[in-house]
Amino acid sequence: MADNQAAPAGDGKVAYDFAAHERPLFEAWRDGGYFQRTPGFGAHADDPYTIVIPPPNVTGVLHMGHALNDTIQDACIRRARMQGYQTRWILGTDHAGIATQTKVDKHLAEQGINRREIGREAFIEACQEWRRDYGGRIVSQIAAMGCSCDYADEKFTMSPEFSRAVRRVFTDWYHEGLIYRGKRIVNWCPHCTTAIADDEAEYEDEKGHLWHLRYPLAEPVGGREYLVVATTRPETMLGDTGVAVSPSDERYRDLVGAKVILPIVDREIPVFADFYVDAEFGTGCVKVTPAHDPNDFAMGERHDLPKINVFDETAHVIEGYSRFTGMSREEAREAVVAEFEALGLLESVEDHDHSVMHCYRCHTTLEPWLSEQWFVAVDGLKEAAARVVADGEVKFHPERWAQVYLDWMENLKDWCISRQLWWGHQIPMYYCDACGWQDASVDPVETCPVCGAPTRQDEDVLDTWFSSQLWPFATQGWAEDGADAPELSAYYPTQVLSTARDIMGLWVARMVMASESCTGQIPFENVIIHPTVMGADGKPMSKSRGNGVDPVQLMADYGADGMRFGLLMQVTGAQAMRFDEQKIEGSRNFANKIRNAARFVLMHLEGFEPGAPEAVTPADKWIFSRLAALVEAVDAAYDGYEFGEMTRALYRFFWNELCDWYIEFSKARLAEGADPADRLACQRNLVFVLDQALRLLHPVMPFITEEIYQQMPVHDAPMLIIAPWPDAAALARLRDEEAERAIEMVCEAVGAIRSARSRYGLSPKTVLDAAVRADEADAALLAGQAALIRSLANVGELAVGADVAKPAGSSAAVGAGIEVYTCLAGHVDFDAERARLAKEQGKLAADVAKLDKKLANPGFLAKAAPEIVAKDQARRAELADKLARVEASLAELG
């Protein structure tokens, strides 16, 4: 729905015009300084509550994962602010090395410019210009959500302060032996021409082949003249330096120690035994290419094999391989297979599906490639990072993610941190080519401290995650003063981190390692792993699938409050969340409900005088008790980070208990001619309950609650954003189980009578008799509310008791511990009604049977599109529900 002005309110009431209020309210909060760290109050006046935003890519735009995560963080920080904590939500963006360089490369290429032609400095300036032009998009979109970040102190991972922190950590870790340079297998992207961390590789299933190739033995062994190796990558055989078999494989035991002649390149290589080899896979013989496979590299290390790299940085065959030189991987594969076939050495080819690594940015197939890179020796860091989670210093929510974290940490390998890019933190390693001096330094080194010759800096940049791991403390003054930085000393560790599961290893674990190493403290006390937002079809959102949803458009259609509340309502303990736009629309309607309820209260305040709320009637006691229960439930949900439970509790209270019932109970007390003292008490109670409900709703629906708060007749804060959070302990004294039970039965009785009217088409003005059967205790409670039932349900005679019998010609409804009978005799033509219902029953039963037959047809299920099947299933469920209700009405009529 594109026209936010046309959002339906229902019953002729006024729709909430969110577009008119959101921007002015945001500016009022920001200009009032409420987003910055302000003095606390009350019991938490001296306590900090800090959250660091997972920094989005500087070139990014808001997606549904951001929308959900930012809503969670804002809900937490707004509630803490209202609780009196010194709150701060640290905002900032990540320079996103590969992502930004790729975008700028493409932008320059469209102008006919190549970055290698303009040089490094000019390219970095182009990146900075790109950031100036596009870097603020996602921040402005986060602001449109109403997120109460500290916009006055925005951080950036390439700012001078942050860059110094990065250089300091690299230098310290290098001198401590935690960073080293070595020649090892890395995941290489031939398109981006850079190394990629293991954790960043995306695996995709591909249809491929398993080629069985004959390798001739240098000398026959036991009558055998060749071995057959099975491989998915024939092109890498150019770099083979051995053939491995399993030590337990009887078939090849006599061949261990023999030599084979590598076809095409005429290289003599050994046959050896290694327990890595699976005797059941392929032929049981494995070609070993140490420079192009990490497992082969490990075997090469164990058996002292040469490591021959046959590809250049763009994955083309290097010089020295005759006609294969210059071929791409794909071309070399075809040519090698053709050569084997021509030589009579191609044994067979079989189909083979396997998982292949791709670059997470450009989706190019990655190449395991031997190259010299910088690594973090994680064994010196991961023990402390595992301990703080195992000991519960850092808690995960849901709790099961702690074990996932620990498993990941246990299997962690040394981290390749160098990237062959220009945009990013250039590695602070300096070299003197004249005398061989080299060292890491926080400050630039232009001349060699040994011989005075000019130095050069390492050309590579650091992995983006290397700088991002410093985010919690590098944003709080650590770069200059270390762990003694005033801000860090006062406000560290942070209280909450909210993030997605897919970067738990890439980012969360590394932040813990870095913080323990650099500050001696954990970076955060609680980690919220929110669900992944999937498309309505249950699949990951993507442009290619066409199932993506734009949160900016959702806000235009339903308002920021509607999107925020609707997203949190869909959160459960599951790992994935299937997006349902109807929940967003329902939450927009909920905003209308809130606005109209507030409008009713504010329109009935003639003669209002501020004063304490007072429970005059059982309905007052009931709503106060339900409010107390709500505060308890909401606090418990926040403390357990159960955001779906929290929003559902708020929805039930506001929509059902406050709007549908308590306001209904209040109408007679506010009407003209009502007792003035009771009217004032009712006004005060409505204002009090509405005020408390607005406070509870504010963290999730900040705009509409603030707009209403500004119109309230009493305030204890200039704006709701800093109004005190409801006091659970004080409200707990208002719990009244007897009042709750009494009004619960009233609601059930009135609801049952109204439902009977609706089923049989009786006017609300028609006076009906009714009876309620309950046990003695409940009957005594309910009898005291007989007048309320008569008034709300337009009932004449009302019988309540433990021995009440079902009157003739009445409908029956069963509630929680009560039975409600609505007398219909004299108002309904039972014979005509039976005939009408029987006819409707027959038609519905036939329609259900027709759909059952269709949905049981294998041919239909195999050929029909999934959305067609789903539509028919939904229609069948709808008809079955109608049929059940018709049959229930028939049974009721006898």
User: Residue 93's domain is classified under what CATH number?
Assistant: 3.40.50.620
The pLDDT value given to residue 20: 87
What secondary structure letter does DSSP report for 503?
A: G
Q: Which two tokens stand for residue 49?
A: 């509550």
3-state helix, strand, coil in the chain (%, to 5): 50, 20, 35
Contacts of 377 (CB under 8 A, 6+ apart): 177, 178, 179, 180, 414
Domain-located, residue 499: yes
Distances (CA, A) of 439 to 168, 514, 517, 613: 13, 21, 21, 72
**Residues 773, 810: contact at Cβ < 8 Å?**
no
714 shares its domain with 745: no
Domain-located, residue 817: yes
Distances (CA, A) of 340 to 211, 215, 330: 10, 10, 16
What CA–CA distance (Å, rounded) separates 389 from 663?
A: 48
Q: Which of 358, 377, 399 is the last residue of a domain?
A: 358
What CA–CA distance (Å, rounded) separates 519 from 513?
A: 10
Q: Which two tokens stand for residue 102?
A: 């790729």
What CA–CA distance (Å, rounded) separates 412 from 431?
A: 31
700 shares its domain with 778: no
322: left (phi over 0), alpha (psi -120 to 50) or beta: left
651 shares its domain with 596: yes
Domain-located, residue 811: yes
Domain of residue 600, CATH code: 1.10.730.10
What CA–CA distance (Å, rounded) separates 719 from 402?
A: 39
Across 89-107, b (16+ Cβ under 10 Å) vs e yields bbbbbbbbbbbbbbbbbeb
Which among 353, 416, 386 has a CA at the least distance from the CA of 201?
416
823 shares its domain with 839: no
The pLDDT value given to residue 415: 92
Q: Which two tokens stand for residue 570?
A: 């869909």
DSSP track, 598-617: HHHHHHT-TT---------S
The pLDDT value given to residue 14: 62
DSSP track, 355-392: EEEE-TTT-PBPEEEEEEEEEE-GGGTHHHHHHHHHTT
Number of domains composing the chain: 5
Beta bridge partners of 595: none
Domain-located, residue 333: yes
Give the type of residue at 194: T
500 shares its domain with 585: no
79 shares its domain with 117: yes
Domain of residue 841, CATH code: 1.10.287
Q: Identify the helix (H) or strand (E) that includes residue 261.
A: strand 259-262
Domain-located, residue 35: no
3-state DSSP call for residue 349? strand
Is residue 543 annotated as involved in ligand binding? yes
3-state DSSP call for residue 219? strand
Domain of residue 289, CATH code: 3.90.740.10
> For residue 614, how many C-alpha atoms fall within 13 Å in the half-sphere facing its CB?
11
Beta bridge partners of 216: 226
What CA–CA distance (Å, rounded) separates 488 from 294?
A: 41
Q: Which residue has the tokens 């290489």?
A: 188
Which among 202, 127, 134, 181 has a CA at the least distance from the CA of 158?
127
The pLDDT value given to residue 13: 64
Distances (CA, A) of 165 to 145, 178, 369, 497, 629: 31, 16, 31, 21, 48
DSSP track, 735-797: --HHHHHHHHHHHHHHHHHHHHHHHTT--TTS-EEEEEEE-HHHHHHHHTTHHHHHHHHTEEE
Domain-located, residue 448: no
3-state DSSP call for residue 305? coil
Q: Identify the helix (H) or strand (E) that includes residue 584.
A: helix 581-603
Residue numbers of the domain that contains 664: 567-735
546: left (phi over 0), alpha (psi -120 to 50) or beta: left
Q: pTM for the complete prediction? A: 0.86
661 shares its domain with 778: no
597 shares its domain with 725: yes
Across 353-392, b (16+ Cβ under 10 Å) vs e yields eeeebbbbbeebbbbbbbbebbbbbbeebbeebbebbeee
Q: Identify the helix (H) or strand (E) that includes residue 299.
A: helix 294-303
Task: Please give the backbone phi and psi of residue 777, each rounded to the nearest 5 degrees, phi first.
Answer: -65, -45
Domain-located, residue 573: yes
Q: Which two tokens stand for residue 569?
A: 């309502």
Q: Which two tokens stand for residue 253?
A: 């035991």
Q: In what order do the strands lie in the sheet with 818-823?
A: 795-801, 768-774, 818-823, 810-814
What secondary structure letter does DSSP report for 414?
A: P
Q: Strands of 502-612 (E only): list them.
A: 524-530, 532-534, 576-578
851 shares its domain with 822: no
What CA–CA distance (Å, rounded) separates 608 from 618?
A: 22
What CA–CA distance (Å, rounded) separates 192 from 463?
A: 13
Q: Which of 310, 330, 358 is the last residue of a domain?
A: 358
Q: Counting Cβ atoms within 10 Å, is residue 770 exposed (0-12), middle (13-18) or buried (19+)? A: buried
The pLDDT value given to residue 136: 85
What CA–CA distance (Å, rounded) separates 332 from 677?
A: 93
728 shares its domain with 599: yes
Domain-located, residue 184: no
Across 10-37, b (16+ Cβ under 10 Å) vs e yields eeeeebbebeebbeebbeebbeeebbbb
Q: Which residue has the tokens 């320059």?
A: 108
What CA–CA distance (Å, rounded) separates 792 from 790?
A: 6
What CA–CA distance (Å, rounded) separates 327 from 460?
A: 27
Helix-helix angle 702-709:676-697, to 10 degrees: 150
Q: Which of 716, 735, 754 is the last residue of a domain?
A: 735
Please list the rounded mean pLDDT of every run of 10 residues in the chain (894 residues): 39 70 95 92 94 90 93 98 96 90 87 89 90 87 96 95 97 97 90 80 84 95 91 94 94 94 94 93 92 92 94 93 93 95 94 83 85 94 96 96 95 92 95 97 96 96 96 94 88 95 92 97 96 87 79 94 96 88 93 94 95 95 97 97 96 94 94 93 97 98 97 95 96 94 94 89 91 92 92 93 88 83 85 79 90 88 81 88 80 72
Contacts of 120 (CB under 8 A, 6+ apart): 422
Beta bridge partners of 351: 209
761 shares its domain with 682: no
354 shares its domain with 254: yes
